[in-house]
């Protein structure tokens, strides 16, 4: 809606800007600039068409073909099988278990990331300068950690025999986790992986929200407080609405990222995630590169992308809205 | 600063917040601390079932073990080649495209913007199968050039979008003033816009470098064992016989420290660029 109202307002200014230029020059400039943007875009679009467009098309066609080892090595041509792959995937109970697991996992990651991020951002407004600096250092360091390194470190923290976490937790009264294997069960292991994802994702959220919080006018909060709003009221009716565009953007981005979690699971499980650990990404990978059914793997990947489409649409609308205003 | 009567109340509640803040600091920082702690620990202390939280002495033997376990500099060199090439190509091509969508009004501009945004949203993992088949067909499997090409799928949309953000924050009037003074469009860009854009370009390059450096899945899938890159190298510490954790943490430290330092340098600039656009919406 707001995109429609801003568009007409945005178009005129560039038209008004040229008048100071000599009138005779204008048509020439307009004509030359008609092709220029496409010329500038050409290399970018060409590369994207090759490494993104073509594979995307191939992903779709693959998922309607029979494509295994013999097609990969060219012994047999890939033949079309219609919706067989999809029927195979959708008819498999395991697939649905994976879908549910992925959604629960991603939802948990997003909710914990956003809530923790918001709480820490609000906390940072209330602490002394030196505490803020310390927290920021820790956040940026964990944000900057390569995912593979972070995963490796978490694997070590949660190691059954020598992990520091079991040792610390076992010191608590009534807790005995000596030798406890966190990855013996899927839900527990995925909870650890969720913690890893959240730990890595919170800094970006905190830093972005902190920057957003500085834009909330202090007078507005003051006015709400004078009108009798408590801390929650000020947050709910003043801070939150102003931060909404940032929150929508962060949430949608988080959903997209957390639905695509792969290396964390893959490396945690030493390259062979057990059935209980499979998410859509690893499941698709498994189908393609372990079972060597590239077609079904593609079908699963395609279904994942379709599942994300709604979220992506919300994100894009938000980004375009931002793009309109500038 | 505040009046005397409220100072103690405020001081007390601030103490509470500070303690909470310190707790966040400890939790968020602990994994990094423990990585460093283990890396510099004598290997036998690392497999103590009741480990000491404080450093137990400093040794570099884990680092030399990490360097021994598998060739380290080869993977690092390959990662450097890949990341630097990707950034160089991505930044030049990305800048041209960013200029087109931020400084020109043309038919189809919006579609291009939507396309570039959309491309960024496709999960890389979903693309691995067709990309693998594509490189297989092109004879680029197990070649660094193939990996460089595929990394452009995520680096290009990123550089285009980020540079666009930096460009739109440079007032168009500056360029127009230069053009009124007789500059051509190109020289107006080179003399006026480019100097203002340079810091943003540096930050974008560094950030893109980090992304390329950290990539794991494609590096694992598209290169064989003897061509592995730095991220994949870290997997060498786990074998059938178990994991050598102390050297692995030393390896992790070697991987992480340069990246975290680079990240610290550009993080502020990148976050500022991102939110400057977001708050306007």
Residue B257 in contact with partner chain A when CB distance is under 8 A: no
Which ipTM score applies to this complex?
0.84
Q: Nearest CA to CA, how far is A262 from chain B (Å)?
A: 7
Percent of chain B topping pLDDT 90: 25
* Per-residue pLDDT reduced to its tens digit, B225-267: 888 898 888 888 877 777 788 888 999 999 888 888 888 888 7
Interface check for B182 against chain A (CB to CB < 8 A): the answer is: no
Kindly list the residues from chain A whose CB atom is less than 8 angstroms away from the CB atom of residue B50.
Answer: 167
Print the domain residue range for B27: 4-64
User: What is the pLDDT confidence band of residue A190, given thresholds at 50, 70 and 90?
Assistant: very high
Whether chain B has a CB inside 8 Å of the CB on A207: the answer is yes
Kindly report the nearest CA distance between residue B197 and chain A, in angstroms: 17
Q: Is B234 part of a structural domain of the chain?
A: yes
Q: What is the tens place of the pLDDT at every residue in B193-228? A: 888 888 888 888 988 998 899 899 899 989 988 888
Model confidence, pTM: 0.84
- Range with the lowest mean pLDDT among A190-204, B30-44, B254-268? B254-268
Please tell me whether residues B39 and B96 are part of one structural domain.
no
What is the pLDDT confidence band of residue A32, given thresholds at 50, 70 and 90? low
- B259 domain-assigned: no
Contacts 24+ apart (CB under 8 A), A241-248: A242/A212, A242/A215, A242/A216, A243/A209, A243/A212, A243/A213, A243/A216, A245/A318, A245/A321, A245/A322, A245/B278, A245/B279, A245/B281, A246/A208, A246/A209, A246/A212, A246/B275, A246/B278, A246/B279, A247/A114, A247/A209, A248/A314, A248/A315, A248/A318
The two structure tokens encoding residue B156: 């290009």
**pLDDT value at residue A169:** 87
Tell me, yes or no, whether B132 lies in a domain.
yes
- Using a CB-CB cut-off of 8 Å, the residues of chain B touching A140 are 260, 263-264, 267
B75 and B109 in a single domain? The answer is yes
Residue for token digits 């490396």?
Answer: A267
Residues B226 and B93 occupy one common structural domain: yes
Establish if B276 belongs to a structural domain: no
CATH at residue B157? 1.10.3720.10
Task: Show which of B43, B64, B85 is a domain's final residue.
Answer: B64
Domain presence at residue B39: yes
Q: How many domains does chain B have?
A: 2
Q: How far apart are CA A233 and CA A221, in angstroms?
A: 10
Who among B24, B129, B256 is closest to A120 (CB)?
B24
Considering the domain architecture, whether residues B39 and B90 belong to the same structural domain is answered as: no
Q: Which of B210, B225, B243 is the C-terminal boundary of a domain?
A: B243
Residue B195 lies in a domain: yes
Each domain of chain A, given as residue ranges in start order, spans 91-325
Same domain? For B20 and B86 the reply is no
User: Which residue in B104, B109, B274 is closest to A36 by CB distance?
Assistant: B104
Look at B112 and A41 and tell me if their CB atoms are within 8 Å.
Answer: yes
The answer to whether position B24 is within a domain reads yes
* Residues B38, B105 within the same domain: no
Q: Which CATH architecture has domain A91-325?
A: Orthogonal Bundle (1.10)
State pLDDT tens for residues A42-85.
999 999 998 888 998 989 998 898 888 778 777 777 788 888 88
């Amino acid at each position: 809606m707001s995109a429609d109202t801003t568009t007409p307002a945005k178009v005129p200014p560039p038209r008004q800007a040229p008048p100071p230029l000599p009138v005779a020059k204008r048509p020439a400039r307009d004509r030359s600039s008609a092709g220029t943007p496409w010329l500038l875009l050409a290399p970018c679009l060409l590369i994207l068409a090759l490494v993104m467009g073509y594979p995307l098309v191939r992903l779709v066609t693959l998922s309607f073909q029979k494509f295994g080892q013999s097609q990969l090595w060219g012994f047999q041509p890939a033949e079309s099988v219609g919706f067989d792959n999809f029927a195979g995937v959708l008819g498999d109970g395991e697939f649905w278990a994976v879908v549910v697991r992925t959604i629960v996992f991603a939802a948990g990651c997003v909710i914990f990331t956003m809530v923790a991020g918001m709480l820490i951002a609000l906390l940072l407004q209330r602490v002394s300068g030196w505490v803020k600096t310390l927290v920021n250092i820790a956040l940026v360091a964990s944000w900057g950690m390569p995912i593979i390194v972070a995963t490796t470190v978490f694997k070590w923290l949660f190691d059954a025999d020598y992990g520091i976490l079991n040792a610390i937790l076992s010191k608590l009264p009534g807790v005995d986790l000596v030798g406890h294997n966190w990855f013996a069960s899927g839900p527990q292991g995925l909870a650890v992986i969720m913690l890893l994802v959240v730990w890595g994702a919170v800094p970006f959220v905190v830093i972005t929200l902190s920057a957003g919080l500085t834009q909330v006018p202090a007078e507005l909060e003051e006015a709400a407080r004078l009108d009798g709003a408590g801390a929650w009221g000020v947050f709910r009716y003043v801070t939150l609405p102003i931060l909404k565009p940032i929150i929508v953007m962060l949430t949608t981005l988080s959903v997209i990222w957390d639905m695509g979690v792969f290396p964390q699971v893959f490396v945690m499980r030493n390259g062979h995630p057990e059935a209980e650990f499979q998410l859509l990404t690893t499941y698709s990978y498994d189908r393609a590169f372990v079972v060597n059914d590239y077609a079904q793997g593609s079908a699963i990947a395609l279904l994942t992308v379709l599942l994300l489409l709604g979220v992506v649409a919300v994100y894009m609308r938000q980004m375009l809205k931002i793009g309109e205003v500038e | 600063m505040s009046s005397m009567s409220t100072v103690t109340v405020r001081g007390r509640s601030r103490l509470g917040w500070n303690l909470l803040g310190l707790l966040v600091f400890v939790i968020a920082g602990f994994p990094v601390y423990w990585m460093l702690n283990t890396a510099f620990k004598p290997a036998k202390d690392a497999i103590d079932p009741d480990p000491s939280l404080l450093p137990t002495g400093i040794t570099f033997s884990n680092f030399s073990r990490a360097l021994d376990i598998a060739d380290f500099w080869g993977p690092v060199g390959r990662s450097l080649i890949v990341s630097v090439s990707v950034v160089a190509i991505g930044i030049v091509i990305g800048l041209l495209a960013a200029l087109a969508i931020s400084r020109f009004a043309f038919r189809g501009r919006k579609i291009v913007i939507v396309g570039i945004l959309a491309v960024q949203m496709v999960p890389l993992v979903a693309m691995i199968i067709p990309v693998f088949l594509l490189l297989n067909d092109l004879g680029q499997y197990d070649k660094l050039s193939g990996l460089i090409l595929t990394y452009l799928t995520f680096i290009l949309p990123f550089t285009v979008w980020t540079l666009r953000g930096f460009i739109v924050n440079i007032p168009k009037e500056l360029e127009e003033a230069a053009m009124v003074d007789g500059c051509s469009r190109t020289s107006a860009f080179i003399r006026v816009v480019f100097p203002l854009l340079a810091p943003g370009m540096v930050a974008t390059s560094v950030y893109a470098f980090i992304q390329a450096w950290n990539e794991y899945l494609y590096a694992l899938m598209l290169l064989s064992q003897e061509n592995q890159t730095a991220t994949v190298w870290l997997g060498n510490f786990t074998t059938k016989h178990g994991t050598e954790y102390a050297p692995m943490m030393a390896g992790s430290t070697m991987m992480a420290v340069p990246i975290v330092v680079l990240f610290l340098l550009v993080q502020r600039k990148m976050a500022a660029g991102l939110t400057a656009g977001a708050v306007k919406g």
